[in-house]
């Protein structure tokens, strides 16, 4: 019976995890050492502050299901969730970037069966990158391990890993030793391009006004091509220095963050950066662009949807042939069309614009989450799930697409989101109603 599964009988022993994977951000650091005693985490080594907080978050978890604002048991809550989905003709399945790959697979099955829409946070965060790729802008990419070994020039553009991915600098980019950077940071050139100067160690900081990134990238491209640039550009000397640095590196990497992909000029920004990297490669340098993914398994969701549907997010199964139209089949465009929402590990009420939140709150909401959230506070049904990577195991994909196994660190009575989603799927499909 869901919710009553007993913890394993080794709660009183001390256990050490020597290579636990941190389930907070998409770095998925896999060198975390955790000591567990009496089923409590006693010590955590190697994780950053976000990782430590995530591993300890089970102490602040949501404890009981909620149905219409009242505490309930799992059976009643799941039955109500099944009723909502049975009655729905076109549900939205949303979130999933903080879920295991196995849970994502079941969620996709529900979306297909119910002929609903499945969408993930990627449709808001990185949608314009995909738009540029669909427009056939060239994309040079590499795994983080190759970047660590070979990159001698690092650019963080619109991205401040100190506040978003604290160990990214130490594990994959600036500080680790590599085949071509045997002294680590002293063998690398580090450039930050952003509206606010980031805290990490860099030789060059190029300040930009919001929306100015495309102009900077286009100017660099022209300088690298040897083409004339506007004499009125008061930043020519500074950008010439940056262009020289870019040209002098045999292997460089541009990590792009949401600073590039947000704002009125975002599409122009990413197109200009992709063109800059294309130019550098055509000049004989090896450069790659690497989008900084946030949630720990957003890549798992993207890869699953790509494998199963051919699209990275926002897939609508209500049409005879599935549809993918960013802006129409994604959360920002589809809320008027759906008649229920199953939200898994996300808080769209806290993150969407007010008008979209109003649309979302017009339909019955089922929320699966280990924690209380703003969205959960408006939901018809809230189902607490185990924290993947802490209370349950599962597969997640690192930001470069490498699959990693997340451990169950402590024993827990809470069911995983995969288990709950399977129950919901079985309840819907047993009914024979789509
Ligand atoms: S950088 Fe990310 S994955 Fe690594 S320990 Fe910090 S939060 Fe966890």
Residue whose CA is at the smallest distance from ligand 1 atom 4: 29
Ligand 1 and 166: CB distance under 6 A: yes
What whole-number percentage of the chain has pLDDT above 70?
A: 96
Other Cβ atoms less than 10 A from the Cβ of 10: the count is 11
Q: What is the pLDDT of residues 156-187, one digit of tens each?
A: 999 999 999 999 999 999 999 999 999 999 99
What is the reported pTM? Answer: 0.93
8-18 residue pLDDT tens: 446 678 999 99
* Among 83, 25, 65, CA closest to 372: 65
The per-residue pLDDT for range 138-150, each reduced to its tens digit, is 899 999 999 999 9
28 lines ligand 1 (CB under 6 A): yes
- Ligand 1 atom index nearest CA of 25: 2
**pLDDT reported for residue 319:** 87
H or E segment at 344?
strand 340-344
Indicate the top mutation candidate among 28, 46, 163, 165 to test ligand 1's pocket, ranked by most ligand atoms within 8 A of CB: 165
**pLDDT at site 27:** 97
pLDDT at 8: 46
Measure CA 127 to chain center: 12
The conformational region for residue 300 under phi > 0 = left, psi -120 to 50 = alpha, else beta, is alpha
Pocket test for ligand 1, best of 17, 50, 98 (most atoms within 8 A of CB): 50
CB of 394 closer than 8 Å to CB of 388? yes
- The set of residues, in sequence order, having a beta carbon less than 8 Å from that of 16 and lying 6+ positions away, is 33, 34, 35, 36
Structure letter (DSSP) for residue 335: T
pLDDT at 344: 98
Q: What is the pLDDT of residue 317?
A: 97
Query: Cα dist. 350→90, 119, 346, 358, 387 in Å?
Result: 23, 17, 9, 12, 20
pLDDT at 233: 63
23 Cβ closer than 6 Å to some ligand 1 atom:
no
List helix spans (H) across 59-117.
Answer: 74-87, 101-113
Q: From the CB of 340, is ligand 1 less than 6 Å away?
A: no
Domain 62-125+296-387+412-431, CATH class in plain words: alpha beta
Asked whether the CA dihedral 43, 44, 48, 53 is positive or negative, the reply is negative
- Ranges of each domain in the chain: 62-125+296-387+412-431, 127-291
Instruction: Please report which confidence band the pLDDT of residue 417 belongs to, taking 50, 70 and 90 as the band edges.
Output: very high
Contact between 397 and 98 (Cβ < 8 Å): no
Q: Residue 296: is it exposed, middle or buried by C-beta count within 10 angstroms (0-12/13-18/19+)?
A: buried
CB 48 less than 6 A from any atom of ligand 1: yes
Between CA 331 and CA 334 the distance in angstroms is 5
Q: How far is CA 288 from the centre of its chain?
A: 20
pLDDT at res. 320: 86
Q: What is the DSSP letter of 231?
A: T
Report how far ligand 1's centroid is from the alpha carbon of 296 (Å).
Answer: 9
Nearest to 99 by CA among 412, 387, 404, 399: 387
Reported confidence tier of residue 135, pLDDT bands at 50, 70, 90: confident
Query: Are the C-beta atoms of 108 and 304 separated by less than 8 Å?
Result: yes
Spatial distance between the Cα atoms of 20 and 1, rounded to a whole number of angstroms = 29
Summarize the confidence of residues 290-298 as an average pLDDT: 95
CATH of the domain spanning 127-291, picked from 3.40.50.2000, 3.40.50.20, 3.40.228.10, 3.40.50.970: 3.40.228.10
CA-to-CA separations, 405 to 270, 304, 358, in angstroms, rounded: 32, 16, 38
pLDDT value at residue 430: 64
pLDDT in tens, 66-112: 999 999 999 999 999 999 999 999 999 999 999 999 999 999 999 99
Radius of gyration of the chain measured on its C-alpha atoms: 23
- Section 54-74 average pLDDT: 97
| pLDDT tens readout for residues 211-263 | 899 999 999 999 999 998 875 667 888 999 999 999 999 999 999 999 998 87
The chain-wide mean pLDDT, for the chain, equals 93
- Number of alpha carbons in the 13 Å side-chain half-sphere of residue 279: 20
**Kind of pairing between the strands at 204-207 and 403-406:** unpaired
Strand partners, 15: 36
Q: Is the CB of 148 under 6 A from ligand 1?
A: no
Mutate to test the pocket of ligand 1, among 17, 23, 51, 170 (most ligand atoms within 8 A of CB): 51
Q: Which atom of ligand 1 lies nearest, measured to the CA of 46?
A: 5
Which residue from 291, 296, 292 is spatially nearest to 98, judged by alpha carbons?
296
pLDDT in tens, 305-364: 999 999 999 999 998 889 999 999 999 999 999 999 999 999 999 999 999 999 999 999
> Phi and psi dihedrals of 283, rounded to 5?
-85, 0
Q: How many Cβ atoms sit within 10 Å of the Cβ of residue 265?
A: 16
Cβ–ligand 1 distance for 171 under 6 Å, the answer no
Helix (H, G, I), strand (E, B) or coil at 192: strand
pLDDT for residue 136: 80
Nearest atom in ligand 1 to 21's CA: 3
Is any ligand 1 atom within 6 A of the Cβ of residue 165? Answer: yes
């Amino acid at each position: 019976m869901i919710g009553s599964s007993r913890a394993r009988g080794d709660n009183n022993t001390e256990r050490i995890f020597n290579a636990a994977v941190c389930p907070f951000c998409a770095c998925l650091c896999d060198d975390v050492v955790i000591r567990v005693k009496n089923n409590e985490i006693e010590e955590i080594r190697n994780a950053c502050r976000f990782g430590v907080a995530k591993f300890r978050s089970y102490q602040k978890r949501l404890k009981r299901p909620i149905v219409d604002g009242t505490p309930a048991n799992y059976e009643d809550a799941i039955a109500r969730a099944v009723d909502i989905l049975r009655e729905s003709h076109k549900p939205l399945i949303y979130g999933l970037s903080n879920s295991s790959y196995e849970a994502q697979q079941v969620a996709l099955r529900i979306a297909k069966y119910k002929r609903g829409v499945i969408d993930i946070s990627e449709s808001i965060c990185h949608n314009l990158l995909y738009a540029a790729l669909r427009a056939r802008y060239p994309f040079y990419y590499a795994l983080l391990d190759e970047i660590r070994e070979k990159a001698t020039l690092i650019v963080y553009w619109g991205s401040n890993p100190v506040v978003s991915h604290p160990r990214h600098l130490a594990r994959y980019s600036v500080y680790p030793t590599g085949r071509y950077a045997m002294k680590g940071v002293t063998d690398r050139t580090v450039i930050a391009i952003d509206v606010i100067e980031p805290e990490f160690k860099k030789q060059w900081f190029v300040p930009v006004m919001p929306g100015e990134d495309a102009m900077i990238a286009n100017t660099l491209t022209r300088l690298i091509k040897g083409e004339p640039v506007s004499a009125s550009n008061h930043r020519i000397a500074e950008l010439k220095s940056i262009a020289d640095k870019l040209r002098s590196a045999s292997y460089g990497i541009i990590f792009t963050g949401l600073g590039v992909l947000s704002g009125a000029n975002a599409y122009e920004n990413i197109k200009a950066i992709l063109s800059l990297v294309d130019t550098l490669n055509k000049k004989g340098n090896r450069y790659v662009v690497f989008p900084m993914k946030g949630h720990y398994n957003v890549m798992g969701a993207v890869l699953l949807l790509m494998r199963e549907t051919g699209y990275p997010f926002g897939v609508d199964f209500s049409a005879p042939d599935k549809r993918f139209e960013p802006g129409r089949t994604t959360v920002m465009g589809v809320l008027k069309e759906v008649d229920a929402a199953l939200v898994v590990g996300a808080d769209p009420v806290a993150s969407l614009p007010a008008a979209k939140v109003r649309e979302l709150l017009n339909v019955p909401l089922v929320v699966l989450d280990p924690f209380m959230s703003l969205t959960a506070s408006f939901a018809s049904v809230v189902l607490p799930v185990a924290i993947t990577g802490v209370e349950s195991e599962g597969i997640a994909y690192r930001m470069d697409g490498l699959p990693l196994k997340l451990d169950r660190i402590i024993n827990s009575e809470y069911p995983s989101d995969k288990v709950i989603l399977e129950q919901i799927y079985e309840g819907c499909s047993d009914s024979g109603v789509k």
